[in-house]
Amino acid sequence: MQQTPKPSPVLTVMTVNIHKGFSFFNRHFILPELRDAVRKVGADIVFLQEVLGHPQDGAAPLSGWPEAPHYEFLADDIWPQYAYGRNAVSPRGHHGNALMSKFPIVHDQNHDVSIAGPEKRGLLHCVLRLPGMPVEVHVICVHLGLLEGHRQQQLAMLCAMVRGEVPPGAPLIVAGDFNDWRRRADAVLWQGARLREVFVTAYGVPAKTFPARLPLLALDRIYVRNASAHLPVVLPRKPWSHLSDHAPLAAEVHL
């Protein structure tokens, strides 16, 4: 009797630049409201950029500011696993990329890809173990620079990191804020790491995400390798347009 093959695991992934927990133009601190909105998406894995850690002096600077680092506050009891990579230090404290996961994170490492100058950027690489999966799933949370020359160097670093740290047959998801308004990343990541962007695969063009109130630029991306993505979407303008300056992306990823 022929056995029916087991269905492949399906993950819902989400990426959003949370703008350090402040609304557009830094008018309001809205991290508690943003946490509620992220919870409603119900993603298995959440890629976050511009996440604040502890304030430098250890004191809450504003009303509603959590005592815990912002990534812990956002994860709460929904995402029991999280990792954080500090990229920069500011007057409000340090900030960087974070990943929240419903599955065990068995390894994490933050790679500093800053180029000479004031911009501090990083790649947060995490390895996840899913029940019943014979191989581990690799995920990389990305925040690249504002200058084209810097981004090209950082994309080359990302490709080198993938080749050096991710097994060729392992599922890989790379997501975050690429600041790639000129759309140069797709060709580089395909040639250097065999990564495909999920919106380009599904619709022929990347999703416009910035500014969130009237998206004109495609800055945020989700790439996959050894996986396929279904139903990639830009999350609705309400409530997201006043929760960040970037519109979030979400997709189903089939491993």
Alpha-carbon torsion 136, 153, 111, 199, what sign?
negative
pLDDT surpassing 80 at residue 6: no
Q: Which residues of 58-88 are buried (b: 16+ CB within 10 A; e: fewer)?
A: eeeeeeebbeebbbbbbbeeebebbbbbbbb
pLDDT surpassing 70 at residue 25: no
Q: Are 18 and 36 in contact (CB under 8 A)?
A: no
Condensed to tens digits (0 to 9), the pLDDT of residues 223-248 reads 999 999 999 999 988 888 888 889 99
pTM score > 0.85 for this model?
yes
Q: Which two tokens stand for residue 93?
A: 């404290």
Please report how many Cα atoms fall inside a 13 Å half-sphere around the Cα of residue 1, on the Cβ side: 2
Condensed to tens digits (0 to 9), the pLDDT of residues 220-229 reads 999 999 999 9
Alpha-carbon torsion 243, 63, 58, 104, what sign?
negative
Instruction: Quote the CA–CA distance of 51 and 169 in Å, as a whole number.
Output: 31
pLDDT surpassing 70 at residue 202: yes
Give the phi and the psi of residue 194 in degrees, each rounded to 5.
Answer: 55, 40
> Does the bond joining 239 to the residue before it have cis omega, within 30 degrees of 0?
yes
pLDDT for residue 61: 59
Percent of the chain surpassing pLDDT 90: 67
pLDDT surpassing 80 at residue 59: no
